[in-house]
Amino acid sequence: MNYERLFRKAEERIVKTALAGAGEFGWTFVFQAQRAPNIDVPVIINRTVSKAVEAFVNAGIGEGEIAVCDSSKRARESFERGKRVVVSNIEHAVDLSIDVLVEATGSPEVGANNAETALDNGWHVVMASKEVDSVVGPELTARAGEKGLVYTPADGDQPSLLIGLISWAKTLGLSVVAAGKSSEYDLVYHPENGVVVTNGIEIPAGNLDDLWFLGERKSHELFESRRRLLSQVAQSPVPDLCEIGLVANATGMKPDHAVFHSPIVRPVEVPDFVCPRHMGGLLEREGTLDIINCLRRADEASMSGGVFVIVECQDAKTWKILAHKGHPVSRNGRCAMVYRPFHLLGVETVTSVLSAAILGQSTGNDMAMPVCDLVGRAAIDLKAGQVLDMGGHHHTIEGVDAELADASPVYGSYPVPFYLMAHRKLLCDVPSGTLITAGMVDLDMESTLYRIRKLQDRRFFGN
């Protein structure tokens, strides 16, 4: 793809973009947007306005060019004078001439309100907040289409990149037997110290030298041995489950296990592990989504946050040639991995913004369906009246493990979406190991997220 030609229509147009959320993703987007042609970010919406100001300043904008506004009137006046506008909520920005909203707050409730408000005001939406997308993405996609607008995942985040890789492979006529992503943090082996380091945490490596090469072993045997040795690693983190759920909704592919197989593998081994059992791997069927935990030495390239497809080697001669060029091919020659070993956060999001505003197209899927829900299972005994507090960088809920389930309406004995239960009170005791259902949680029926989800249930399930 020649991106300059693809977006040639933008040569005489500047796409005005508002950013909601001045966190890590937002900072990288604002900085890169100042250097990309055909895009301008004149507005940042952030609850803590000082962080929004810092994001602009970090991007090279002088403080004298920035106006912090506490009303729609002040925001409109500052915008018309050419100032960079900072507001604490989207309602103060709705009168501004904006083409696209990049939603990166990471807040399920705030993000849902921002997306709905943007669509109601004729703005396209680039959704980087996977927490929102996991609960109401299909409804917002459908609503945007009805309004002649685009609702899309964000390039720079793994869901959009994996959806694109899957569609690319299918366009070539490759037979995709599996697809997935590498977890956010590699497992880096330091043989000189006898430890594995992941996200700053050291884990004793034990006899990892003996488990380093697959050799002649069966994949499931090495899978179990490494899992036992490195059992302290959180092998199916909440964000990975959430992101794969979005890919399921966009592609129709699904995991074959609620918390994935999540093998600990070296990149060259991936096609031996992440393929169907009849091809020598771990998966129960073809067309499966999964994640991997990338194992490498410190002197080897990272696959952290990368995405991949596993394709069937239907032309043995072609893939033998490609294997000789270093492409990962399974030992039996039946499967190969094609992968993108990186994601660049907001640095890449410009393509999704331009695709929405110039091409009128999503970089994900214009017809997202509710295929999977991210749900929760009690990891400990939970008590009636307990509040399911959500927090931390990865927006986890204390005492609750996440998993993927078939999508279903939110009521009664059906599982409640993970981020709908966040900060809500339990109505009954929930024993450890129990799937948390809608009837167990005092859901906030006045929230924007809940209201949109009920509309999604009505649209796709009839109730």
- Name which of 184, 402, 137, 162 is nearest 289 in CA terms: 162
Q: How many CA atoms lie within 13 A of 305 on its CB side?
A: 13
Say yes or no to pLDDT of 12 above 90.
no
| pLDDT of amino acid 236 | 66
Residues 177 and 233 in one domain: yes
User: SS3 of 337, please?
Assistant: strand
Are 326 and 394 part of one and the same domain?
no
Same domain, 8 and 143: yes
Residue 415 structural domain: 372-444
Please indicate, yes or no, whether residues 315 and 227 belong to a single structural domain of this protein.
Answer: yes
In a domain, 169, yes or no: yes
What pLDDT does residue 463 have?
76
Contact 416/437 with Cβ under 8 angstroms?
yes
- Tell me phi and psi for residue 320, to 5 degrees: -65, -40
| Residue 147 in this model has a pLDDT that exceeds 80 | yes
Q: To which residue do tokens 């009805």 refer?
A: 146
Give the chain's mean pLDDT.
Answer: 94
Number of domains in the chain: 3
Residue 458 lies in a domain: no
- Same-domain check for residues 182 and 252: yes
Q: State the residue for tokens 């029926």.
A: 445
How far is residue 354's CA from residue 339's CA, in Å, rounded to a whole number?
Answer: 24
Residue-wise pLDDT for 124-136, tens only, equals 999 999 999 999 9
pLDDT at 11 over 90: no
Contact 417, 374 (CB under 8 A): yes
Enumerate the β-bridge partners of residue 391.
Answer: 396
With CA atoms as reference, report the closest residue to 364 among 249, 238, 214: 249
Q: Tokens for 305?
A: 């946050």
- The average pLDDT across 128-145 equals 96
How large is the angle between the packed helices 49-58 and 24-33, nearest 10 degrees? 40
Residue 11 lies in a domain: yes
Report the distance separating Cα 174 and Cα 104, nearest Å: 34
DSSP state of 232: T
Answer yes or no: do 198 and 294 share one domain: yes
Instruction: Report the alpha-carbon angle 108-136-415, nearest 5.
Output: 90
- Domain assignment of residue 116, yes or no: yes
Choose one of 334, 359, 384: the last residue of a domain.
Answer: 359
Residue 454: inside a domain, yes or no?
no
Residue 332 reports pLDDT greater than 70: yes
Q: Answer yes or no: is 239 within a domain.
A: yes
The string of pLDDT tens digits covering residues 73-127 is 999 999 999 999 999 999 999 999 999 999 999 999 999 999 999 999 999 999 9
What confidence score (pLDDT) does residue 1 get?
A: 78
pLDDT > 90? residue 368: no
Cα separation, 90 vs 68, whole angstroms? 13
How much is the pTM? 0.94
Same domain for 202 and 107, yes or no, is no
- 192 and 314 both lie in a single domain: yes
User: Per the domain annotation, does 255 fall within a domain?
Assistant: yes
> From the centroid of its chain, how far is CA 189?
27
Could you read off the pLDDT of 163-199 as tens digits, one per residue? 999 999 999 999 999 999 999 889 999 999 999 999 8
In the three-class reduction of DSSP (H, G, I as helix; E, B as strand; rest coil), residue 193 is classed as coil
Residue 459, pLDDT above cutoff 90 = yes
Cα–Cα dist 306/233, whole Å: 19
For residue 233, give the 3-state DSSP assignment.
coil
Q: What pLDDT score was predicted for residue 234?
A: 64
Q: Are residues 147 and 267 in the same domain?
A: no
Last residue of some domain: 359, 386, 411? 359
In this predicted structure, what is the pLDDT of residue 138?
97
The predicted structure's pLDDT at residue 264: 94
Q: Domain with 41 in it: what CATH number? A: 3.40.50.720
Query: SS3 of 390, please?
Result: strand
The last residue of a domain, from among 313, 329, 359: 359
Residues 355 and 390 in one domain: no
What percentage of residues in the chain have a pLDDT greater than 90?
Answer: 89
Average pLDDT over residues 361-369: 87
Residue 333 domain-assigned (yes or no): yes
What pLDDT, on a 0 to 100 scale, did the predictor assign at position 91? 96
Q: Looking at residues 218-243, what average pLDDT do you find? A: 88
CA distance 367 to 460: 12
Same domain, 10 and 84: yes
- Do residues 99 and 139 both lie within one domain? yes
Q: Which tokens hold the place of 412?
A: 């009664």
Q: Amino acid identity of 341?
A: P
Whole-angstrom distance, CA of residue 251 vs CA of residue 365: 8
Q: Is residue 336 scored above 80 in pLDDT?
A: yes
Q: Could you give the 3-state DSSP secondary structure of residue 173?
A: coil
